[in-house]
Structure 1
């Protein structure tokens, strides 16, 4: 009976082997399956031979008769045949899954839409650089529990007082500006494979661009940064830009976790659409700043000037972040706990709040 089952398995595995030559993922699955079967047979055969040797020793020592020896050998062979059959049957469902996948792909073609294999956790509008062919086993949930890559974001920038979170009043000096950034980010799971908690660590770059309202501009002298009327011609555009190197850290909570069993182990399924809430902190060091002014002078010449900022800005920033995401969409709010402008700046609203989205995720 054992031989018949192994022959039937061979008839199933051999045709799959030809298909697997063109499909490295399937080839690996078949190899893993055959290795398991070989391991089961080898282990059981080793145990059986040990018992048969013991029977032979007892017969040589005249402890049992020839008839008893034959009966014991038969019982041992039947016991291990049953054990092998039971263990092979446990693995049979895996072979059936492999066979069904191979037949479906052969008849209908491999699925063109591989979106189901994408990590839902990236939460970006445009996701690039991730193909299931690059994963040795795309059905293994463990392959989707961590990621590394670039994330690009864009946000609205609002400056407030220390106690206010947002300020859109007419009394404010600065317009609602723009901020953008890029982060090299690693995401991993906290706890067991079923844990709905993840963490993100990164190294990023943040660019803030600030404009003054009512056709005014930033200006400076040796001691102060201030806001004033423009008096050198026709103003076209003026802004103050700051660049920071950022170190963000974030904890992510999956609110609707779904799970998947794979090879006897339970995993959270990170390919399913998820509601996520993130809480994080960040710190940054300013690496660049300038005042840009574009205008037409009294002679009609267009002038563009760049001026490095001497007084008025702090060299570092520290703040917090909260994010809300579903599937590919992620919106976040950040708040700087430390002011952008220092005591040498005549600017009323010195703290920055941002509302933004992650627009591109590029995963390696």
Structure 2
């Protein structure tokens, strides 16, 4: 069922963009996208290892909690900068590929439509009529976000069962950004597809235990070195974005660009839970460190929807999101996921 939801969501996102693309163009674009995805995965794995080492040093008492928090922030910023630096070449390749498509260097008949922007070609690669790429009302962005994650209990964060600095949020996605007015740059509609990773670390290193339709945090009865719970969601985010980037003049013609000034986005998201994992790490009687991973439903809601907002300058913004549905389906006390942090939208 969840696989079906995944593919349906992906297809909805593709059809929403109203793009009919040539097969060779898609193949080249997919290769570039794979490069960006691989770079992001490598940096994410590296960041995970660095954070794990910081947590180990914190448990050993060689650093203070304040030092641990600062090191995590420094590592996250370093990895985010690495992603931006390493993906720059791939993004240049993608822009060049799109420009080649606009210039009619892609063989066979193809018509592309994006928010009223049309280009048509014939079989001998000559342009029939084009609109310069800089005037396209729809642009695309790669999205990466990270920050803190937690559960509000009856609408409050006070006395949370989860560690504030130990519970993290990550998001990887792709958006399309459409300027709504033909001759004005303020209001845009953004929409796309994202994977959300909601991580929770409980206080006192407790674990989730399912008891019928209830999911409870319990003491495992053994000394845990670390416990972590991860819920993975696939969502379609939609935002109304206000971009204060001023148009530039090319002679007597206005050229509209995005992400060169202050931006504010208000909207929400809806999607499905793809799976849940519980990770534990402890020392057994022989003194060996044992790591385990448990997959399961854990009574987590199958469907997710919520509100989100961001404000920033250029490619970087601060974001917050809040799930309107309870994290667990039938728990006696409602708990709703909340996340906030830093977001990057790379054109």
Trace 1:1-364 onto structure 2 (pairs within 5 A).
126=84, 128=88, 129-131=90-92, 134=96, 135=99, 142-143=134-135, 145-164=137-156, 167=157, 169=158, 171-176=159-164, 177-232=167-222, 234-254=223-243, 256-262=244-250, 264-270=252-258, 273-343=260-330, 345=331, 348=333, 350-359=335-344, 361=346, 363=347
CA pair 360-267 structure 1, distance change in 2 beyond 3 A: closer
Of the two structures, which has the highest relative contact order with CA contacts closer than 8 Å and spacing of 6 or more? 1
Q: Hey, what's the Cα distance between the residues in 2 that align with 1:229 and 1:162?
A: 23
Q: TM-score, normalised by structure 2?
A: 0.59
Give the conservation status (yes or no) of the 8 Å contact 2:201–2:227.
Answer: yes
Give the conservation status (yes or no) of the 8 Å contact 2:275–2:297.
Answer: no
Give the conservation status (yes or no) of the 8 Å contact 1:141–1:267.
Answer: no
Deviations 1:188-210 (A, max 9, x none): 21111323111111111111111
Give the conservation status (yes or no) of the 8 Å contact 1:333–1:355.
Answer: yes
Highest Rg: 1 or 2?
1
Deviation at 1:280, TM superposition (A): 1.3
SS at match of 1:214: helix
Residue 11 of structure 1: aligned partner: none
Deviations 1:92-141 (A, max 9, x none): xxxxxxxxxxxxxxxxxxxxxxxxxxxxxxxx96373444983479xx68
Q: TM-score, normalised by structure 1?
A: 0.56
Give the conservation status (yes or no) of the 8 Å contact 1:196–1:268.
Answer: no
Pairwise CA RMSD of aligned residues?
2.8
Q: Hey, what's the Cα distance between the residues in 1 that align with 2:319 and 2:220?
A: 35
- Listed as ranges, the gaps of 5+ residues in structure 2 are 1-79, 103-131
Give the conservation status (yes or no) of the 8 Å contact 2:315–2:345.
Answer: no
Deviation at 1:331, TM superposition (A): 0.9
Q: Hey, what's the Cα distance between the residues in 2 that align with 1:148 and 1:330?
A: 17
CA pair 162-282 structure 1, distance change in 2 beyond 3 A: farther
Deviations 1:249-285 (A, max 9, x none): 111112x4422233533343437x3111101110120
Aligned residues: 229
Q: Hey, what's the Cα distance between the residues in 1 that align with 2:245 and 2:301?
A: 42
Structure 1 stretches of 4+ with a deviation exceeding 6 A read: none
Q: Hey, what's the Cα distance between the residues in 2 that align with 1:297 and 1:189?
A: 58
CA pair 149-222 structure 1, distance change in 2 beyond 3 A: same
Q: Hey, what's the Cα distance between the residues in 2 that align with 1:310 and 1:251?
A: 33
Deviation at 1:218, TM superposition (A): 1.8
